[in-house]
Amino acid sequence: MNSLDSTFAALADPTRRAILMRLARGEATVMNLAKPFKMSQPAISQHLKVLAEAGLISTTIRAQERPRRLETAPLKKAIDWIEKYRQMWEKRYKMLDGLLEELQTIQTQGDQK
């Protein structure tokens, strides 16, 4: 899987997005991440594994704790890619705006004659 695919696959799950939201506020342990969900720790660990493989989180090793933190680089890459596409549609519609204006001007001139 290329990285863009794995980024979107990771983002396609609401639990994983919720985990990313939580990590956006600061790093957290697996225990803390599991708290808001009615989910077993292995289930959360599975989600963390997907996020880690997509490069969206990293693990800090500190004493007995293994806090996870958000990595924004792959997200940025995905957003850049999407933005390029959205811009294409915006560009098309802006051209259409111009064309519509032109057509209406021609019509108005025709009406006045």
Partner 1 sequence: MKAEQKEVKMELRGETEVVLKRYFAAPRQLVFDCHTKPELMRRWLIGPEGMALETLENDLRPGGKYLYVYADSKGNKAGVYGEFREVIVPEKVANTENYAMDMSAFNPNAPEDPNATVESRLFETEGNGTLMTHVCKYASAEVRKMMLESGAGPDGMEVCCQLLDKLLLELA
Which CB, 41 or 98, lies closer to partner 1?
A: 98
Site for partner 1 in 19-78 (CB under 8 A): 20-21, 24, 75, 78
Number of residues that bind partner 1 (CB under 8 A): 34
Candidate residues 3, 11, 71, 77; the one interacting with partner 1 per rule CB under 8 A: 11
**CB contact at 8 A, 16 and 57:** no
Rg, C-alpha atoms of the chain: 23
Helix (H, G, I), strand (E, B) or coil at 37: coil
* 82 near partner 1, judged by CB under 8 A: yes
Amino acid at 54: A
Angstrom distance (rounded) from CA 70 to CA 56: 6
Which CB, 37 or 81, lies closer to partner 1?
A: 81
